[in-house]
Amino acid sequence: MSDLDQDEMFENERKRLFGLAYRMLGSVADAEDMVQDTWVRWSKVDGTAVDNPQAFLTTIITRLSLDQLRSAKHKRETYVGAWLPEPLVADQSTGPDEMIQKADDISFALMLTLEKLSAPERAAFLLHDVFDLGFDEIAKTLDRTEASCRKLASRARQKVRSEGDAALPMSTNEPLVTSFLAALKTGELSEFVDFIAEDAVLVTDGGGVKSATLLPIYGREKIMRFFFGLGEKFGRPNPSDIKLITINGTPGILIREDKNDVQAWSIAWTTDGQIKQLYIIRNPEKLGHVVFD
Looking at the chain, which residues constitute the CATH 1.20.140.160 domain(s)?
Answer: 3-81+116-163
Distance of CA 31 to the CA centre of its chain: 11
Query: Cβ distance 125 to 285 under 8 Å?
Result: no
**pLDDT tens column, 68-121:** 998 888 788 889 999 999 999 875 444 444 445 545 568 888 888 898 899 999
**pLDDT tens column, 177-214:** 888 888 888 866 677 778 899 999 999 999 999 999 99
**pLDDT tens column, 113-164:** 898 899 999 999 999 998 999 999 999 999 999 999 999 999 999 988 887 6
Per-residue CA distances from 176 to 167, 182, 203 (Å) = 12, 10, 20
Looking at the chain, which residues constitute the CATH 3.10.450.50 domain(s)?
Answer: 170-286
pLDDT at residue 290 greater than cutoff 60? yes
- What percentage of residues in the chain have a pLDDT greater than 70? 89
CA pair distance 99, 96, nearest whole angstrom:
5
CA pair distance 205, 123, nearest whole angstrom:
25
CA dihedral 261, 266, 272, 276 (to 10 degrees): -100
Report, as an integer, the average pLDDT of 164-182: 64
pLDDT at 167: 41
Question: Considering only CA atoms, which of 169, 170, 167 is closest in space to residue 278?
Answer: 167
pLDDT at residue 30 greater than cutoff 90? yes
pLDDT at residue 58 greater than cutoff 90? yes
pLDDT at 169: 44
pLDDT at residue 242 greater than cutoff 80? yes
Distance of CA 101 to the CA centre of its chain: 12
Domain 170-286 has CATH 3.10.450.50: yes
CA dihedral 109, 114, 116, 117 (to 10 degrees): 160
pLDDT at 93: 42
Average pLDDT in the chain: 85
How buried is residue 42: exposed, middle or buried, by Cβ count under 10 Å (0-12/13-18/19+)? buried
CATH superfamily of 3-81+116-163: PhyR, sigma-like (SL) domain (1.20.140.160)
Tally of helices (H runs) and strands (E runs) in the chain: 9, 7
